[in-house]
Amino acid sequence: MNPHFTLPDKRIQRGVGLVLGLAIAGSWLAIHAWGMFVFELSWWNWPLALAVAMVQCWLSVGVFIVCHDAMHGSLLPGHPRINGAIGAVLLALYAGFAWKRLRDAHFDHHRLAGHAGDPDFDEHHPDDFLRWYGTFFRRYFGWRSILFVHTVVGIYWLVIGIPMAQIVLLYGLPALSSSLQLFYFGTFRPHRHLPGQGPGFADHHNARSNDFAPLVSLATCFHFGYHLEHHRRPDVPWWALPAAKRAGVGRVAAIEKVPT
């Protein structure tokens, strides 16, 4: 670990993580409920619906990042059962994902980053966004998620009577767009091979970080684009990654000698 970067006291970390997690997940659930059960889509208010969909996409990214912190135990340090419970509930609501399966896959990603066997990496298309995303989508969006989404859509449309256009715009579009946003900023950009330059990574983590300012980093992927910092210090929660970057966690000499 980087001697120049120290995490806040665990009590502070738990408090910040819980408040931010509740704000993100609570807003996400509230907007979804409003969009499905209160809002009525019409020709004159579709710009508002589109704006809400964009906010919901960003919040969906945030919900997944909260779950990601739960996987690493950095959401509520020292409380693995609570981390697991929060992550399991939110992942199930997000798209019917199984907590243990995704958690184990994510740990495999850290262990095998950028190599064959890494579930987040496409070794056959390491510089091709669309093919890699297709591989990524097929690996994670299995029968459980398909059944969950179809069940939810069926209940909303056939039982409750919500118009399909409203379901697509305020439920389907944010969910799909958030998967693209997460993949592009949190997987493809950090781990892709640069055309004509080969891998070009600093060390065995096979990851790089973006140079976005903190506000842009927050808007794109809740700081998950500071990806080398995350791989070197997976105990750092998402909201502390800018501080880890400023402290030099992503600099080569700060952590380890680069393999020759």
Spell out the domain ranges in the chain: 10-204
* Per-residue pLDDT tens over the stretch 9-34: 999 999 999 999 999 999 999 999 99
Distance CA 41, CA 163 (A): 8
> pLDDT by residue (tens digit) across 85-135?
999 999 999 999 999 999 999 999 999 999 999 999 999 999 999 999 999
Residue 62: pLDDT band by 50, 70, 90 thresholds? Answer: very high
Question: What pLDDT does residue 198 have?
Answer: 61
| Rounded mean pLDDT, 40-67 | 97
| Three-state helix/strand/coil letters over 83-122 | HHHHHHHHHHHHHCCCHHHHHHHHHHHHHCCCCCCCCCCC
**What would the mean pLDDT of 205-230 be, rounded to a whole number?**
95
For tokens 């750092």, what's the residue? 236
Measured distance between the N- and C-terminal CA atoms of the chain, rounded to whole angstroms: 21
**Token pair 């946003």 is at which residue?**
181
Write down the pLDDT at residue 111. 95
Alpha carbon distance 54, 56 (integer Å)? 5
Alpha-carbon distance of 85 to 73, in angstroms, equals 12
| pTM of the predicted structure, to 2 decimals | 0.92
pLDDT digits (tens, 9 = 90+) for 139-194: 998 899 999 999 999 999 999 999 999 999 999 999 999 999 999 999 999 999 98
Report pLDDT for 4: 67
Q: Which is higher by pLDDT, 257 or 112?
A: 112
Of 209, 213, 220, 222, the closest CA to residue 254 belongs to: 209
Report the range of poorest mean pLDDT among 96-105, 231-240, 242-251.
242-251
Report pLDDT for 196: 65
Using an 8 Å Cβ cutoff, are 95 and 177 in contact? no
pLDDT greater at residue 114 or residue 260? 114
